[in-house]
Amino acid sequence: MRARLGLAFAVLVLVSCKRPRPPAIEEVWLGPDSGCVRDSKNGIQCFGSGLRQTEPALVEIVPRAGEKTLLAFAKDRSCIGDSGGTRCADHSLVTAKKLIGGAVLSLSVSETHGCVVHKTGEEKATDAISLACWGANSRGELGTRDAAHDVPEVPSNHELPNMFGTLDKMHPKSVAVGAGFTCVEMVNGEAPGYVRCFGSIDLKAFDGEAIKSLAAGMDHACVVKAKDGSVWCWGKDYAGQLGDGGSVDAALPVMASGVFGAVQVACGERHTCARHLAGTIACWGANDHHQLANGTTTLSTRPRPMHGLVSTKAIVAAGDATCVLLKDGDARCWGRNDVYQLGDGTTVEHVVPSPIKLRVDARSGDKSSGGW
């Protein structure tokens, strides 16, 4: 009898001491000094110095069920896009200025400019999908050379977007921006089109080739070809971020060595990572802040597989850091963490992929200090 009572008491103690688990992570976004996740309770928790949060905390933006919400970050700047349009602000989205209406399909920002692919009319009308860009235009990164659209290199406020209309039957599908350039995937309905870059990188490539993923770093960009999952990159290559085994800048796309079966590519400032269909990850480029998470700080001009990461379903990169979303609802990040951008409440650099630590009782930030 005493044995049974002792066992019952032990079970009771274990149950009462069991801590509630934080919600699973459904989506992750990353910027050079900030990051956010959408949890399984449809809450958005954010962190990083750009959002003035030292650890994950709920923000006052609740995505509508079933609607697509996109976040994009640059240093000290945040943008959100959803069915109601695109809004951007420094530090706070609560008072964000609405830039343009229309449901957002793709959103990307840099320190000096941003672009969004959005719907401007009927949902099924491809001619009602266009690209809108705003901000600095010293290098033609807004898609026009018209001096009437010129703005300061570091704008004091967000300018009204410049409309980059459709060409012939083509319309934009996705956009990625870097420092002084914009790359757009153009398609013809469901048929492949091409990739067009303008600004400090001027390029038209991949005519008639289906693209699975498009990403941009500070001064390089990459795509994944749908046909074979190969990764192709162009732009600056001083840290091996193009992945072709050399360090020579490329005006035309070069293939990352040995990468096939990829489904997504992510570009940091000076490094690149690819996610494979099997859920594995390969990275290359700069490694001075452990961007490659391989136990060294030596850069690699060729893709290197990351050990211990399997069952990934999404990858994002920004600055000198990378995060992956796992199929079990966990998210892990590695690389630079000097301004709380990896979501563990510390400024300790992550040498290996480490979890984002969501708080069960996460509360929104202190509005008086500029929080969300």
- pLDDT at res. 342: 97
pLDDT digits (tens, 9 = 90+) for 212-259: 999 999 999 999 999 999 999 999 999 999 999 999 999 999 999 999
Q: Are 246 and 256 in contact (CB under 8 A)?
A: no
Say which range, 19-23, 156-160, 206-210, 318-322, has the weakest mean pLDDT: 156-160
pLDDT beyond 90 at 145: no
User: What average pLDDT score do residues 194-222 get?
Assistant: 96
User: Which amino acid makes up residue 273?
Assistant: C
Q: What is the pLDDT of residue 124?
A: 62
Q: Would you report the helix, strand and coil content of the chain in percent, each value rounded to 5? A: 10, 45, 50
The token pair at 138 is: 């010293």
Find out whether 302 and 278 touch, Cβ atoms under 8 Å.
no
- pLDDT at residue number 167: 55
Mean pLDDT, rounded, of the chain: 85
Of 115-119, 120-124, 311-315, 342-346, which gets the smallest average pLDDT? Answer: 120-124
Q: Is 8 left (phi over 0), alpha (psi -120 to 50) or beta?
A: alpha
Contacts of residue 171, defined as CB under 8 A and 6 or more positions apart, other chains included, come to: 126, 127, 129, 130, 186, 187, 188
Residue 366 pLDDT grade (very low, low, confident, very high; cuts 50, 70, 90): very low
Rounded to two decimals, the pTM is: 0.88
| 262, two tokens | 């990829």
Confidence of residue 160 (pLDDT cuts 50, 70, 90): low
* Region for residue 157 given its phi and psi (left: phi exceeds 0; alpha: psi -120 to 50; beta: otherwise): beta
Question: Rounded to whole angstroms, how far apart are CA atoms 301 and 49?
Answer: 31
Per the listing, tokens 């409309």 go with 163
DSSP 75-88: TTEEEEEETTEEEE
With beta carbons less than 8 A apart as the criterion, state whether 264 and 213 touch. yes
H helix runs in the chain, sequence order: 2-17
Looking at per-residue pLDDT, the higher value among 45 and 127 belongs to: 45
Asked if 125 contacts 193 with a C-beta cutoff of 8 angstroms, the reply is: no
Q: What is the pLDDT of residue 89?
A: 81
Q: Who has greater pLDDT, 263 or 40?
A: 263
The pLDDT assigned to 18 comes to: 57
Which tens digit of pLDDT belongs to each residue from 272-308? 999 999 999 999 999 999 999 999 999 999 999 998 8
d(CA 372, CA 370): 7
pLDDT for residue 369: 29
- 284-311 as b/e, with b when 16 or more CB fall inside 10 Å? bbbbebbbbbbeeeebbbbbbebeebee
Residue ranges of domains in the chain: 21-100+319-372
Helix (H, G, I), strand (E, B) or coil at 59: coil
- Report the alpha-carbon angle 340-346-350, nearest 5: 85
Q: Which of 156-165, 169-178, 183-192 has the lowest mean pLDDT?
A: 156-165
pLDDT digits (tens, 9 = 90+) for 85-114: 888 887 665 556 777 888 999 999 999 899
Q: Which of 200, 203, 167, 202 is nearest to 186 (CA)?
A: 167
For the stretch 221-230, what's the b/e string if a residue is b when 16 or more beta carbons lie within 10 angstroms of its beta carbon? bbbbbeeebb
Other Cβ atoms closer than 10 A to 97? 11
Look at residue 117 in the predicted model and tell me its pLDDT: 92
- Residue 61 has a pLDDT of 74
Bigger pLDDT: 304 or 167?
304
